[in-house]
Structure 1
Amino acid sequence: MDLILFAVPFFFLLIGLELLADRWRGVRSYRLADSLNSLSAGVLSTSLGLVTKGLALLTYDFAWRHLGLFALPSDSSWVWLGAFVFYDLCYYWHHRLGHERNVLWAAHSVHHQSEEYNLSTALRQTSTGFLFGWLFYLPMAVAGVPPQVFLTVAALNLLYQFWVHTRHVPTLGWVEWVMVTPSNHRAHHAQNAIYMDRNYGGVFIVWDRWFDTFQAELDEHPVVFGITTPLASWNPLWANLQGYAVLWRDAVGTASWWDKGRIWFMRTGWRPADRVAAVPQVKADLSQFVKFAVPLAPARQVYALIQFGFYVLGGSYLLAHGDSLSGGALLLSCGWMMGSLYSLGAWLESRAWAMRLECLRLLLNVPALLLAQMLGLLPAGGAAGWSLLLYSLCSAVALGWLRRRAVV
């Protein structure tokens, strides 16, 4: 069973409940564009993960079969419990190095880009973490943890982390000493200097206490969420590329060949001296911090929300059927999802060409549908195909109405 797919309806149910709690308590922890951007990053990550997850699975399985020191049984509760704890220790170091090394931060920073903090932030995941992430869990394979156990405890660890992304749960007393909680994870998502690079555990906060990386949330230092080099975009594709682009510009721009290579693996924030002099980066004054925002008419916000709902259905379909799809079908699906989410980001940013891009996207749904039927992604003449055409037609009508409304 794919636990993440099973959990998707509960994720959205809990997000709905948090929205009600926001309204009841007068807390504004949600903005539509920010939340859609976070959720879009999550949809993009799960979609592309169907293509990229093979790297981690193949390397783990190879290490388990050929390098495993023990033959641990998969039907032992002690193996499962030990694997759950072991995974979180590996996750701690994966997470910590994700904050402490430039190239790893380029991937992980996606999760921290939101300037809000709510349950939608939990679903904001990187699409490029597969490049190095698999390395941190090979010790489990060498220890003999079976692949099916590894995959399940990894999913359980990720599911646990969902609930700690909320502002509605206060400190939890003694629990703060043992478990990751909303309070100590809020501190982790801060860009305040006092909270930077702290609280890396996924389930257990004891690792941070043991390795001296713990910092409690303090009333006298209200958390300012986000990253010190703001994304300033609602586009999930750029969200995944921004960190690499910054490093690439410095690597290309520096005169030192040594610095061109080592910048990727230096401590996060390190830059060649000549690049610091030529292009200084001034950190924002958090006392004057202003969240990124782009004005968007209510009708256009509704259109964006409806479009995203359709993408969620598409992403859920891929999660449910991804293992049975051909390579060509997966690539087509991921390409369609990337193009759609890029268009949504442009729409939320109110780009001058966003309307034209949406029209093009809807027109391309027709050849995309025919290609999907040829590749076996969708049955010819099935309800899914007709639904896609009807959705495209209704969206085109809505676009025409929005355009006329803007002119009038």
Structure 2
Amino acid sequence: MDYILYAVPFFFVLIALELLADRWRGVSTYRFSDSINSLSAGVLSTTLGLLTKVVGLITYTLAWEYIGIFELSADSLWVWLFAFVFYDFCYYWNHRMGHERNVLWAAHSVHHQSEDYNLSTALRQTSSGFLFSWIFYLPMAVVGVPPLVFLTVAAMNLLYQFWVHTRHIPKLGWLEWVLITPSNHRVHHAQNPRYMDRNYGGVFIVWDRVFGTFQEELDDEPAIFGVTTPLASWNPLWANIQFYVVLWRDAVRAASWWDKVRIWFMPTGWRPADVAAKYPVEKPDLSRFVKFDVPLTLAQKVYAGVQFALYVVLGSALLGLGDALTLEQALVGSVWMAFGLYCIGIWLENRPLAKTLELLRLLFNAGFLWLAIVTQIIPHSALLWWALLSYSLISLIALYWTPRPVEARTA
């Protein structure tokens, strides 16, 4: 059972309730483009997961079958409880190393790029974390935790983390000593020097207290969210490769071959001495921190919101098909999804080529529908073609009548 898929409607209901809480309290924890960007990263991650999740599953299953020391039973409640706690312990180290090593931070930084903090931020997930994250969970396979148990507690751990991404819940008394709460997870997402690289647990804060990485949220120091190398973009594809590009550029610039190799595995922020001297990087002054934004008209926001809603629905449909998809089918779906989300990101950035890309996206939709029919992702249906034609015509009319804001035209 795919618990994440079934949780999607509840995620959006809770986001709607948080928006109501914003209005009731007279605050604004959401910005349109930032929220769409976070959700786009999440949709992209789950879609590409159709292609990449097999990496972790195969490695775990092979380790469990061939080097497992014990034979733990999935019928035992104690095994489930043990696995739930053990998973969070492994998650702590996966998460911590994701902040402490360059190449791991390149993947994990996606989750931290939002300069807002709300429930949509929880859904902002990396698409490249599969490259190394599986390593940290092999100890569970070695001690004999069955794959079914592993996959289930992993989903439960991820689902738990959703609710802590909010600014509306204060400190929770004694629970702050045991569990990850909204308060101590706000600390984790902050870029304040005092707060950075703290509170790594997924469910339990105990690991942070034991291993010296705990930091309490302080009343006299509000959290400033985001990363010290700002994304400054609403493009979910760029969000996933931004820090890889930073590392690649420094590796190319380095004179030493040893530096070119080790930069990927050094502590986060480490740069070769010659590169750092020639290409210095200034860290932002948080006392003058300004969130990245691009002005949009209401019409532009409505257009982007409607188009994105379509991708959420169809992305959920792809996720629902899951294991029934062949590699070819998953590839077609992933390419279609990635291109569409890229176009929406460019639209939100109000770039000159945004309307041209939208025209291409609408034209390509016919090609992707044909591929979906050929690869039997969906059956051939005249109704689908008429629906696509109607959608495309309505979108084209809306595209024509959606002006760019004056600020963008005169910039």
Residues 42-74 of structure 1 deviation map (CA, whole Å, 9 limit, x = unaligned): 000000001000010000000000010011000
Residues 157-213 of structure 1 deviation map (CA, whole Å, 9 limit, x = unaligned): 000000000000000010000000000000000000000110000000000000010
Structure 2 Cα separation of the partners of residues 108 and 384 of structure 1: 38
Partner of 1:346: 346
User: What is the CA-CA distance between 1:404 and the residue it aligns to?
Assistant: 10
Partner of 2:118: 118
1:187 partner letter: V
Structure 1 Cα separation of the partners of residues 404 and 167 of structure 2: 41
Where do residues 133-148 of structure 1 align in structure 2 (5 Å cutoff)?
133-148=133-148
Partner of 1:366: 366
Structure 2 Cα separation of the partners of residues 20 and 355 of structure 1: 33
Structure 2 Cα separation of the partners of residues 207 and 4 of structure 1: 25
Structure 2 Cα separation of the partners of residues 131 and 181 of structure 1: 28
Residues 271-297 of structure 1 deviation map (CA, whole Å, 9 limit, x = unaligned): 001111111111111010000000111
Instruction: Name structure 1 gaps, 5 residues minimum.
Output: none
Structure 2 Cα separation of the partners of residues 405 and 174 of structure 1: 50
2:320 partner letter: A
1:358 partner letter: E
User: What is the CA-CA distance between 1:403 and the residue it aligns to?
Assistant: 5.1
TM-score, normalised on structure 2?
A: 0.97
Paired residue secondary structure (1:195): coil
Structure 1 Cα separation of the partners of residues 390 and 327 of structure 2: 27
Structure 2 Cα separation of the partners of residues 261 and 329 of structure 1: 36
User: What is the CA-CA distance between 1:329 and the residue it aligns to?
Assistant: 1.2
2:299 partner letter: A
Where do residues 318-397 of structure 1 align in structure 2 (5 Å cutoff)?
318-381=318-381, 383-397=383-397
Does the 8 Å CA contact 1:373/1:379 hold for their aligned counterparts? yes
Partner of 1:288: 288
Partner of 2:103: 103
User: What is the CA-CA distance between 1:388 and the residue it aligns to?
Assistant: 3.3
Q: Which moved more, 1:83-92 or 1:274-283?
A: 274-283
Structure 2 Cα separation of the partners of residues 14 and 383 of structure 1: 34
Partner of 2:228: 228
**How many residue pairs are counted as aligned between the two chains?**
407
User: What is the CA-CA distance between 1:223 and the residue it aligns to?
Assistant: 0.4
Structure 2 Cα separation of the partners of residues 405 and 186 of structure 1: 34
Q: Percent identity?
A: 68
Paired residue secondary structure (1:265): coil
2:273 partner letter: A
Does the 8 Å CA contact 1:378/1:384 hold for their aligned counterparts? no
Does the 8 Å CA contact 1:165/1:185 hold for their aligned counterparts? yes
Paired residue secondary structure (1:264): coil
TM-score, normalised on structure 1?
A: 0.98
Structure 2 Cα separation of the partners of residues 141 and 203 of structure 1: 20
User: What is the CA-CA distance between 1:390 and the residue it aligns to?
Assistant: 2.6
User: What is the CA-CA distance between 1:25 and the residue it aligns to?
Assistant: 0.3
Paired residue secondary structure (1:271): coil
Partner of 1:25: 25
Once superposed, what is the RMSD of the aligned Cα atoms?
1.3
1:130 partner letter: F
* Stretches (4+) displaced over 6 A: 404-407
Residues 302-331 of structure 1 deviation map (CA, whole Å, 9 limit, x = unaligned): 000001100001110011002111211111
Partner of 2:205: 205
* Pair 1:240 & 2:240 matched: yes
Partner of 1:87: 87
